Amino acid sequence: MEARRAGKIRYLGFSGEMDPLILLRMVDIAAANIFHFDTVQMPLNLIETHFRSFEHQVLPRLIQQGIGVLGIKSVVDPLILESQTVSPDDCWHYALNLPTSTVITEIDSMKKLGQVLEAARTFKPMCKKTFASLLARTEVAAATGRYELFRTGRRDGWAGHNPQRLT
């Protein structure tokens, strides 16, 4: 709060990726202490919506309380694509259809930059039928948490991370 008063920072927020209940608890504790977070960063994607869902459990509360929503992990590294149920464009378009303040994506190559720019260029708000169709295509793949290893606590094959660092 001192940094905010000194003009060094403008917004205060937090991030969580493992369990939506932890984020809800953070918001509740803040409110109980008469504090209001400006933003919350959390995964929002076509897999997580079916499995311990931030979208269903946390997103409505943040909107209700006027807390900015920073959506991350739209494509969940390459894991969601390994499910062979959706394309990168499907993932980004889905995330862009959610009531977020912004959708943040990792751009680690020129190829991915091109994909993200193309997804942004071709984005159109989805009708309810298209939205539901995307959800239906990922429901079975999401059931086990196999495509969100960073949330299920599995350390073997944790995409994009060094397993040695986790032991």
pLDDT of amino acid 77: 59
- The residues spanned by each domain of the chain are 2-147
pLDDT of amino acid 80: 74
Over its C-alpha atoms, the chain yields an Rg (Å, rounded) of 17
Q: What is the mean pLDDT of residues 2-30?
A: 94
* CATH code of the domain made up of 2-147: 3.20.20.100
Token look-up 């390994």 returns 82
pLDDT of amino acid 142: 78
User: β-strands 102-103, 13-15: how paired?
Assistant: unpaired
Give the H or E element holding residue 131: helix 128-142
pLDDT of amino acid 157: 43
Q: Is the pLDDT of residue 44 over 50?
A: yes
pLDDT of amino acid 47: 84
pLDDT of amino acid 140: 82
Look over the chain and give the mean of its residue pLDDT values, rounded to a whole number: 85
Q: Is the pLDDT of residue 93 over 60?
A: yes
pLDDT of amino acid 15: 96
Contacts with 28 (C-beta within 8 Å, 6 or more apart), sequence order:
none
Q: Which of residues 84 and 41 earns the better pLDDT score?
A: 41
Of the candidates 106, 85, 105, the residue with the CA atom closest to the CA atom of residue 95: 105
Q: Which residues pair with 43 in a beta bridge?
A: 72
Give the H or E element holding residue 25: helix 20-32
Q: Which of residues 56 and 86 earns the better pLDDT score?
A: 56
pLDDT in tens, 125-167: 999 999 999 899 888 877 766 666 666 655 444 344 433 333 3
Of the candidates 78, 108, 109, 107, the residue with the CA atom closest to the CA atom of residue 91: 78
- Are 93 and 123 in contact by the 8 Å Cβ rule? The answer is yes
Token look-up 């948490």 returns 145
pLDDT of amino acid 151: 62
Of the candidates 56, 99, 58, 86, the residue with the CA atom closest to the CA atom of residue 147: 86
pLDDT in tens, 68-87: 999 998 886 566 777 788 88
